[in-house]
Structure 1
Amino acid sequence: MKKIAFLGLGRMGLPMARRLAAAGHPLTVWNRSPGRADALTEAATDGATALATDGLTAGAVTEAATPAEAVRGADVVVTMLSDPAAVADVAAQFTPELAPGVLWIDMSSIGPRAVAELRAELPYGVALVDAPVIGSVGPAATGDLVVFAGGEEADLDRAQPVLEQLGRVRRCGGPGTGAALKVVVIGAIVASVTVVGEVLAVAEELGVPQELAREVLSAGPLAGVVARAYSTESDFPVRLAAKDLALAGGGPVLSAAREVLLADPSIAEEDLSAVVGSLRRG
Structure 2
Amino acid sequence: MNWITNYVRPKINSMLGRRDMPENLWIKDPESGEMVFHKDLESNQWVIPASGHHMRIPARDRLRFFFDDGKYEMLESVKVPVDPLKFRDEKRYIDRLKDYRARTGLDDTIINALGAIEGLPISVIIHEFGFMGGSLGMAAGEAIVKGFETAIAQRRPVVLFSASGGARMQEGVLSLMQLPRTTVAVEMLKEAGLPYIVVLTNPTTGGVSASYAMLGDVHIAEPGAMIGFAGARVIEQTIREKLPERFQTAEYLMEHGMVDMVVSRLEMKATVARILKMLMKKPAAVAQESDVFNSVAA
TM-score w.r.t. the length of structure 2 is 0.29
Which structure shows the bigger proportion of residues in helix conformation? 1
TM-score w.r.t. the length of structure 1 is 0.30
Higher CA-based Rg: 2
